[in-house]
Amino acid sequence: MSLYQFSCLSINGELIPMDTYRGKVLLIVNTASKCGFTPQYKGLECLYRKYRDAGLVVMGFPCDQFGHQEFDSEEEVEHFCVNNYNVSFPLFAKVRVKGTNADPLFQYLSNTARGCFGSKAIKWNFTKFLINRDATRIKRFATTTYPSHLSAPIEKLLHTAQ
């Protein structure tokens, strides 16, 4: 199975095949608008603006599974992200990231890149998955890993031959 076999709904309801991002370095993040870690949107946007021309795509997937810290509608999420953090990276429709009804993409990510002590489950908002250009390596970063600490691993992947 490959990451490129999945498709996801954009925040505006458009079905986007992950294959669209083939050859890019991806940073996939489950996000929430009303979380103590929500200010990470600023750092994610900084990474995106700094590295997008080199091939990085940050992808935000809103999730309401942790303390109900997300708005009810995608429109509210998008409005919040754009107006408060000037988010320009791709945002997707709200997803479930854990449990039996988890989005297939997040099931795949959780099984492929395990967390602390080999855990599959995503524990909280702003868990990050960094994926190389051919989607053969996926590394998970915890909620407490701030985007500013991801510059070195992103640069390494951006400078690795395709």
Q: Which domains does the chain show, CATH number per domain?
A: 3-158 (3.40.30.10)
Q: What is the pLDDT of residue 62?
A: 98
Q: What is the pLDDT of residue 81?
A: 97
Cα–Cα dist 64/45, whole Å: 21
User: What digits encode the pLDDT tens for the residues 121-158?
Assistant: 788 999 999 999 999 889 999 999 999 999 999 999 99
Q: Quick one: how far is CA 77 from the chain centroid? A: 15
- pLDDT band, very low/low/confident/very high, at 1 (cuts 50, 70, 90): confident
Contacts of 19 (CB under 8 A, 6+ apart): 4, 5
Written as one string, the DSSP assignment of 33-75 is TTSTTTTHHHHHHHHHHHHGGGTEEEEEEE--TTTT-S-SSHH
Contact 160, 132 (CB under 8 A): yes
For the entire predicted model, the pTM comes to 0.95
Given a cut of 60, is residue 162 above it in pLDDT?
no
pLDDT averaged over every residue in the chain: 93
Catalytic position from the list 35, 46, 63, 81: 35
Tokens of 95: 């997803």
Active site residue 116: no
Query: What residue type is assigned to position 104 of the chain?
Result: P
